[in-house]
Structures are given as structure tokens and as C-alpha cells.
Structure 1
Amino acid sequence: MSNIGLIIEEKAADIGNFLVGRLLPFREKRAVGPFVFIDHMGPASLKEYQNLEVPPHPHIGLSTLTYLFEGSIQHKDSLGSDIEIKPGAVNWMTAGKGVVHSERTPEYLRSTEKNLHGFQIWVGLPKNLEQSEPTFHHTEAEDVPVWNEGDLQYKLIAGELFGRRSPVPVHSKLFFLEIKSQTAQKISIGRNLFGEVAMYVLEGNVTIEGNTFGGKQLLVAKNANLCEFEISENSTIYLFGGEPFEEERYIFWNFVNSDKEIIEKAKINWHEQNHEAFPLVVGDEEEFVPLPKSILNGKLSK
């Protein structure tokens, strides 16, 4: 019997100037471990007159993780953070009770041709931290643990695995792992995993129990401990996983929480531009993403 419990096809979602491939949430699988949202962003080629423009927008009850393969994003938030995200670095912002941020093409790239490619991820927070004070942490690429085992290269982008720990300050038991292979070989790492796990093939392909899979799919395992596959030469894959929460997490627009009433309050605060609940983004105060009317009028069901 196959250990693949679900295959999620990447589906297009519009985030402004270009489409992204949405992997989570999915109607049959709302989360994998604490991962509640995964977008594969790009690869996109932008002309000199095209730029990433995501104006200030709010979050609650989650941590955002941005990881780029190519390109650059200028992150600004209501905490005063103002930093350029470059390939290999990890941007980790914990919203807690409420934070606002914007994501744009850096000023020095706005009149040039450029590429953009990476992951945009939301990780749910433990219930006791959903109303915590917001925080921000940026990990440079050279500080992310990387090691080799034969022809395999491992990179632990976030979390803890193989007795190693990423410096990204996560709030629950999880892992976000990159594996690169120069040669075709069999990989059996299930004994090192825990909780739930999903795999995304960025380059090349993998063969699991006689079936071959390539890109634009998220493969969700039935049992993380049985994670075993054959990887083709010159392949890059990512594993997302960890311990799921006991309580269900509700997602409504940019808000994540285990309490529907907190989400309802956040909707109203953002619609009314309550700057005590959602402060302005420092250095990007002129614009904001309005709460969609369909979101405002759509009360969460009990």
C-alpha cells in the first residue's frame, strides 16, 4: 500500500502583478503539521516596468516565512523592520496579536529586468502564543545549517532535524528541509522525521513505490516514519512537516487563529484602520490593502 496519502496539485492564485502556485491550504488537507499556507512564488521574469507590489496588509496568529531561490524583496513592517530579503536568507515574522507588513521590489531594482522565485509560507502558532506580541527575525543565508552526506546536500531552513537546529526562532516542533542530489539514489530518512510531512519537488523528480513525480505537486505522506524515495540526478526537493496542533486553525483572508471571534475582531479592526490594533508600516504609510467586502460581510460560521 502506498505511503502517499494525498497529492496536491499546485493551483494558480493572483497576488498582484503575477500568479503564484498555491499548495496549502487544500480542501482535503488544511495543514501539514503547523504549516497552514504554502505558496510557490514564480519563477517570474519581470520587465523594467514591472515590480512586486504588495502594500501593507495585516496578519494575526501566525508566523510568516519567506525563502527565495532567486530575486529580492524589500520587507517593511509595523515593528520598524526594513530589510532586503535575498536568496538563501530566511525572513521570519511572528504576527501574534497583530502586525502589518509590505513586500515590494527594492528601490535599486525597480527600473531593471529581474526574476523572482521562492516560497511564501505561513506557520500557525501554538494557542498560548496566538495573542503574543509581534516579533521579527532575519537569518542570513550563511547562518542556515548546510551539510553534505555523500552526493546529498542538506539545508535545514527552519526547525530541528538530524540533531541540528536552524537559528530561525520557531515556536513549535517543525522542520523545513532542502535536499539536493547530484546523482540518482535512494533516500530513506523516515526514522529522522516526526509528525506530518509533505514533499515538494523543485527540480528533477522522485520515484515512490514505482511512481514518478515531478514539480508543481505537494506529496503528503500517510506516515512520516515511512518516508522513503528514489531521487533523480540534479534534483532539489523540500520537506515541510512537524507536529500538528490539537486545535483546528481557522484561516480567513490573512488571519489565522484557533478562535473565530478573534478573527472577527481583527477583520473589523483592519476595516476601520484601527492603528492601535494594526500600527502603520514604518516607511510605507500611504497605502494599504483594503479588507475585501466579501470577507467583511462573511462571518465565520460557528
Structure 2
Amino acid sequence: MSNIKLIIEERAANIGKFMVGRLLPFRQKRMVGPFIYIDHMGPVKLNERENFDVLPHPHIGLSTLTFLFEGSIMHRDALGNEVEIKPGAVNWMTAGKGIVHSERTPEYLRDSPLFMHGLQIWVALPKHLEQMEPAFSHIEEAEIPSWSEGDLQFKLVAGEAFGKKSPVPVFSKLFMLEIKSTSKQVVNIGNDLFGEAGMYILEGAIESEGNVYQPKQLLVAKDSTLCEFTIQENTTIYIFGGEPFPEERFIDWNFVSSDKELIKKAKEKWKTQSFAKIKRDETEFIPYPTFNRK
């Protein structure tokens, strides 16, 4: 990008079973558009004695977006949804006023070695929807808009861009694009994006104004409408962002809101285990931490 404002390096964070690379929030940039939290999960190999088990935990005020490159996760939530997330699909859960979910290795894979690799993302809700009823959508890979332009392959994971619209039911103006290239070439996004924009380099490299940027870097643009860069061969990037909200968002553990009082109430509700529980996953849960880990 010819207008890079900030470079954010992945920072190690422990989520229990393994380390992840945290991109957002960052002290100098808490959000990019409505995107408020991004973890790069893996790549990691779990042996036959290990499993990916994120126990039941609550959310408010956001939508979660899980996007896998490798592996498999069984999503369960208090609405009764039970869906296996596979690479390329988009798992989109909207917490609204509150929901509990768990993420585990599917039963049929629990005695087998397993690779895990993907992105875990939170998208904040507009203020007037922070207390909406919780909802859930699962979009299979075949339903995600994909197209090619020469040696560039595009996928519109969520939102709107380039005159296309993803079927993921988002609640604000945003975009999340995957771009893959098999050859070195100049990419000019032009005026197709809006609001704020960030670029995450998953593999390969990009060049801008004589500088080379590598994997595990998030580049935040000054102006999303002036995005031009050289992409190297065998490179995969994700461009995401959208219209920022006028109000500040606060994060406390898994809770996001423009109102600290709503977060306080959610904390007490979780401590007393008053959230609706997940059917067949009622006994285990992640306790509220004694300090803020995010």
C-alpha cells in the first residue's frame, strides 16, 4: 500500500492449548473499521492425545467470525446450533445481548493428529444493535463469492466490495477480502474500498515504496481508497475494514460494548452462571479471569 500508516506485528498470546498471534486490539489502533479483535491461530499440530477445546464462554456486543485454513472445529452454542467448521467456510455468530458457545475438536477426530490454522475475529456491533437478540449463520465455502483476474484469485469472505456482496449477514458497512497471487504483479484496489482498511499478510510478501513486508504483519492504511502495492508470487493476504463507529468500544475479557455498565452486568451474570447454557455442554465453562487478559 502506498499509504501505510501503521505496521502491527503479531504478538504472542496464550489461549490455553497453544499460542496465537494477536493483531487487534493494539495500543495505537484499537479497531480497524468495526473489526475489534483478530487472532492468527496456528499453524500448530495437535497430537492424538491433544484436542482443541475452548470451553463454554460468553460474549456480548459483537459478532464472531471464524475462518479456518486447516483443521476442524465443532461449534456449539446456547441457541442449539451444532456445526462443524471446515476450511473455507465462514462461521458467523452474533452475540448481541449475550450468548454462550464452545469450540472443540469434533468427536470423530479426537484420537487423531490434527493441524489447526485459521483466523478468529470479532466484529463490533453498531450501538443500536448491541442488545439485539443473538443469532447464528454458517456459510459454506461454495457460497462465498470467488473470482479471478489473471493470476489473482479473490474471495469476498464478508461484507461488500468490487460490486459483490457476501452472504454473511453483517450489521454494518465492512469488507473482508482474501487475495491470492501465483505471480509477482501490481495490485491497485482503487476506489473499491471505504472507511478504514488493514492488510494482513498470511504468506508470501508485498512491496510498497521500496519496502518489503512479510507474513505476520498487519499494515493499516491512511486512506483505503488509495491502495496500490506489488504482490509477490505465492502470496496470500487479507484486506479488511469498513466504516468506523462514532462511539468508543470497550473490551473486558469476551465482552464488547459502548456502555461499560452493560459489560459490568454481563460479568456478574457470567460469574453467577445465569447465561443460557449449551445443551450437552452444560458442566464445563471458562471462569471469568481475575485480571483482564486482553
TM range (shorter): over 0.9
1:151-174, CA deviations, whole angstroms, 9 ceiling, x for partnerless residues? Answer: 111000000001100000000000
Q: How far apart, CA to CA, are the structure 1 residues paired with 2:2 and 2:89? A: 35
Q: Which runs of 4+ in 1 moved over 6 A?
A: none
1:130 counterpart residue number: 130
Partner of 1:56: 56
- Cα-to-partner distance string for 1:168-227 (whole Å, 9 max, x where unaligned): 000000000000111100001031110000001111100011100011111000111111
Q: Deviations over 1:241-287 (max 9, x none)?
A: 1000010110110000000100011111101111xxx2001221110
Written as runs of structure 1 = structure 2, the 5 A alignment for 1:38-53 is 38-53=38-53
Question: What secondary structure does 1:294 align onto?
Answer: coil
SS at match of 1:263: helix
Hey, what's the Cα distance between the residues in 2 that align with 1:97 and 1:282? 19
Q: Which amino acid letter does the alignment assign opposite residue 173 of structure 1?
A: K
The reply to whether residue 293 of structure 1 matches residue 290 of structure 2 is yes
Equivalence for 1:158: 158
How far is 1:108 from its partner?
0.7
Q: RMSD value over aligned CA atoms? A: 1.2
Aligned position for 1:216? 216
What's the offset of the Cα at 1:294?
A: 2.6
CA contact under 8 A between 2:63 and 2:122: conserved in structure 1? yes
Q: Secondary structure at the match of 1:241?
A: strand
Give the match for residue 9 of structure 2: 9
- TM-score under structure 2 length normalisation: 0.98
Q: TM-score, normalised by structure 1?
A: 0.95
1:46-77: per-residue Cα shift (whole Å, max 9, x none)?
10001111000000000000000000000000
In structure 1, the residue matched to 2:278 is: 281
Counterpart mapping for 1:164-203 below 5 A: 164-203=164-203
1:115 maps to 115
Structure 1: segments with no counterpart, 5+ residues: 296-302
Q: When the two structures are aligned, how many residues end up with a matched partner?
A: 293
In 1, are the aligned partners of 2:2 and 2:227 still within 8 Å (CA)?
no
Provide the C-alpha distance between the structure 2 equivalents of 1:191 and 1:130, rounded to a whole number of angstroms: 30
Q: Give the drift of 1:2.
A: 5.6
Kindly provide the amino acid, as one letter, of the partner of residue 43 in structure 1. Answer: P
Check the 8 A contact 1:37/1:122 in 2, yes or no.
Answer: yes
Name the structure 1 match of 2:246. Answer: 246
Q: Distance in 2 between matches of 1:222 and 1:208?
A: 14
Q: Does 1:74 align with 2:71?
A: no
Identity across matched positions, percent: 66
